[in-house]
Amino acid sequence: SYVLTQPPSMSVAPGKTAKIACGGNSIGTKTVYWYQQKPGQAPVLVVDEDGDRPSGIFERFSGSKSGNTATLTISRVEVVDEADYYCQVWDTSSDQVVFGGGTKLTVL
């Protein structure tokens, strides 16, 4: 089955840029989605197909992909961005929806 790998945690200072990686075989050929989850809340879609942002999501969030890595970039990080972030794809080969294990972002 298809596997997505994310670093368990990362930290960034306020005002800096956070880049959260999601590794998967030929992920650059797949549609990648990103979710933000704050404690006690349901996940929220923050990056949609082709790196687009859903309505209401800050423009500081963007997505990119190439080869075996997809990246969620959060520019000018704020304390409110502290959360868990998950990547998601649909693997056509196995017909499975796959989530990465999540990355806990700490804003120092």
Q: Where does this chain bind other proteins (CB under 8 A)?
A: 1, 31, 33, 35, 41-45, 48-49, 54, 84, 86, 88-90, 94-99, 101-102
Other Cβ atoms closer than 10 A to 42: 7
Residue number with CB closer to other proteins (36 or 71): 36
Give me Rg for the CA atoms of the chain. 13
CA distances from 71 to 25, 29, 79, 82 (A): 14, 14, 20, 17
Tell me how far, at minimum, the Cβ of 86 lies from other proteins, in Å: 6
Other Cβ atoms closer than 10 A to 86: 22
Tell me how far, at minimum, the Cβ of 82 lies from other proteins, in Å: 15
Residue number with CB closer to other proteins (59 or 95): 95
Residue number with CB closer to other proteins (97 or 108): 97
